[in-house]
Amino acid sequence: SPELQYPQRLNAVAELFQVALVRGWNGRTALIGARERLSYAELSARVDRIAHVLRHDLRLATGNRVLLRGANCPMMAACILAVIKAGCIAVPTMPLLRARELDTIAERARVDAVLSAASLRAEVDAMARPGLPLLLFDDPDSPAGLEARMAAHDAPFAAPDTAADDVCLISFTSGTTGVPKGTMHFHRDLLAICDCFPRHTLRSRIDDVFIGTPPLAFTFGLGGLLLFPLRVGASAVLIEKLTPETLLKAIEEQRATVCFTAPTFYRQMAQLADRFDLSSLTRSVSAGEALPVATRAAWKEASGLEMIDGIGATEMLHIFISAAGADVRPGATGKPVPGYVACILDAHGLPAGPGVIGRLAVKGPTGCRYLDDPRQRDYVVNGWNITGDAYEMDEDGYFHYRSRLDDMIISAGYNIAGAEVEEALLHHPAVAECGVVGRADPERGQVVEAHVVLKPGHAASSDTALALQEFVKARIAPYKYPRVVRFREQLPRTETGKLQRFKLRMNEG
């Protein structure tokens, strides 16, 4: 589409701030953190000063890679933007990663320097990389810290000349199994995601206040809590310590209008929502995992809002199938976001019509470019990105999630999608959360096993287990019911809110 054409020479961050300047947004609020609030002009000046430090003090060159580490806050946001504006490549990492995981990333991405929040330096110090330049931020009293060095430089900073298809971001997948995969994205990709989902589906506006949970190191958060708001002159609230309660409180206090988080967070918030004023919210976006109809209904009941479900992937940078408002069909993720096309591939790798469960394949302005990884040839086939999800299309072109391809449970010859059993269980009044996996079984190959967290006041007894089994049998085809029910205090999840099914299968977490 014509609006996705960008100049051949492009720096995505310079472009965002240039547009902000020309449109007169400089006095508007860009970022709201716990301790500070930055206007577009202030954020732009800070980004420029940090870029000077990177090029001048750290002597970084165009294309050098900078590992970033910090919780969601304005300074972390400014650092990511500065690395990109400096013509370098941002390699953001999740705050909870440990030294060994950081080492793997530093090695695979061949990073040239590290920018870290002072509070998270312990794991950086423990990395086995002597001589790797390290600069700490949020450490204002240290004479060697980033803030002290910034004081020696003035805005403006002129971005070095880069091509629209120069890499500016290497984002690592959370990877539930195996070595993490680095995905490369171009300057133009950062603008393209702003001009697809938020423009056509979310319909972001200048007076929006974005808020939510995904880390900026996760592309869901980088888009939703930084790039999308900056693209339209809106503001973003960045919160370091998040619980369902603190997010609800922040929505109320900041009068947030757009919320980004994962399904389980919405489910937990729904239970507490009556104590907060959520009248400012006009859209809530759910991504990261399949959105159960029961969760959609609970959040609608609590907030009055019809959620915007969207499937995205680190490989694709952001959301590519979604639906909002009157287009929502509960149970379906939606239709391809304008700019993207999608289809279902059958067992022979051919496009399948409605009613066939197959591999989801997508194409659009963004796509998978793994960093030196043989799995590239599995993800991109004939120009289609194969996300690893089993999906089904209906007669009206809506895409329905079924399961991760490698999580499909095969029991006594039947294919059973764990998500369908989870969906059924979530409608039971005693169930707070659940995860359904296949457990190896000598007779059936696999049996369906449910891991259930009960709501307060319900007993983890064999009677409850039986009641849940009967409940599922009455809602969906009886052969899908969980033959094994295990009660847990909580479910193992990643920092991005995804259930770690492999831990359920190993009975961990």
The site for ligand 3UK (CB under 6 A) is made up of 173-174, 219-220, 287-291, 309-314, 318-319, 333, 387-389, 401, 404, 496
Q: Rounded to 5 degrees, what are φ and ψ at 349?
A: 80, 15
Identity of the residue, 6 or 401, whose beta carbon is nearer to ligand 3UK in the bound complex: 401
Minimum distance between the CB of residue 333 and ligand 3UK, rounded to whole angstroms? 5
Identity of the residue, 189 or 289, whose beta carbon is nearer to ligand 3UK in the bound complex: 289
Identity of the residue, 52 or 318, whose beta carbon is nearer to ligand 3UK in the bound complex: 318
Identity of the residue, 314 or 446, whose beta carbon is nearer to ligand 3UK in the bound complex: 314
Identity of the residue, 93 or 469, whose beta carbon is nearer to ligand 3UK in the bound complex: 93
Query: Which strands, in side-by-side order, build the sheet including 89-93?
Result: 134-137, 113-117, 65-69, 89-93, 167-172, 182-186
Cα–Cα dist 241/116, whole Å:
17
Minimum distance between the CB of residue 221 and ligand 3UK, rounded to whole angstroms? 8
Burial class (CB in 10 A: 0-12, 13-18, 19+), 162: buried
Identity of the residue, 33 or 288, whose beta carbon is nearer to ligand 3UK in the bound complex: 288
Minimum distance between the CB of residue 353 and ligand 3UK, rounded to whole angstroms? 21
Minimum distance between the CB of residue 417 and ligand 3UK, rounded to whole angstroms? 11
454: three-class secondary structure by DSSP? strand
Alpha helices in 30-98 (DSSP H): 40-52, 74-85
Minimum distance between the CB of residue 51 and ligand 3UK, rounded to whole angstroms? 26
Token pair 């086939």 in the structure block, residue: 381
Minimum distance between the CB of residue 295 and ligand 3UK, rounded to whole angstroms? 11
Identity of the residue, 104 or 174, whose beta carbon is nearer to ligand 3UK in the bound complex: 174
Identity of the residue, 273 or 287, whose beta carbon is nearer to ligand 3UK in the bound complex: 287
Identity of the residue, 162 or 496, whose beta carbon is nearer to ligand 3UK in the bound complex: 496
Identity of the residue, 235 or 333, whose beta carbon is nearer to ligand 3UK in the bound complex: 333
Query: Long-range contacts: 437-441, Cβ < 8 Å, 24+?
Result: 437/407, 437/409, 437/501, 437/504, 437/505, 438/407, 438/409, 438/410, 438/411, 438/505, 439/484, 439/505, 441/411
Residues in CB range of 268: below 8 A, 6 or more apart: 244
Reference 158, options 214, 216, 87; nearest CA is 87
Q: Give residue number: closest CB to ligand 3UK.
A: 312
Minimum distance between the CB of residue 330 and ligand 3UK, rounded to whole angstroms? 13
Minimum distance between the CB of residue 409 and ligand 3UK, rounded to whole angstroms? 16
Identity of the residue, 45 or 192, whose beta carbon is nearer to ligand 3UK in the bound complex: 192
β-pair type (283-286, 308-312)? parallel
Reference 193, options 86, 109, 315, 306; nearest CA is 315
Q: Which structure tokens are listed for 360?
A: 């989801």
Minimum distance between the CB of residue 222 and ligand 3UK, rounded to whole angstroms? 8
Q: Which structure tokens are listed for 379?
A: 């993800």
User: Can you spell out the DSSP letters for 110-132?
Assistant: T-SEEEEEGGGHHHHHTSS-TT-
| Local structure of residue 484 (DSSP, 8 states) | E
Strand partners, 134: 114
Minimum distance between the CB of residue 311 and ligand 3UK, rounded to whole angstroms? 4
Amino acid at the residue 504:
L
Q: Which structure tokens are listed for 32?
A: 């709201």
Minimum distance between the CB of residue 475 and ligand 3UK, rounded to whole angstroms? 20
Minimum distance between the CB of residue 185 and ligand 3UK, rounded to whole angstroms? 11
469: three-class secondary structure by DSSP? helix
Q: Which structure tokens are listed for 316?
A: 């694709």
Q: Which structure tokens are listed for 144?
A: 């060697």
Identity of the residue, 44 or 314, whose beta carbon is nearer to ligand 3UK in the bound complex: 314
Q: Rounded to 5 degrees, what are φ and ψ at 48?
A: -65, -40
* Residues shown for the chain: 509
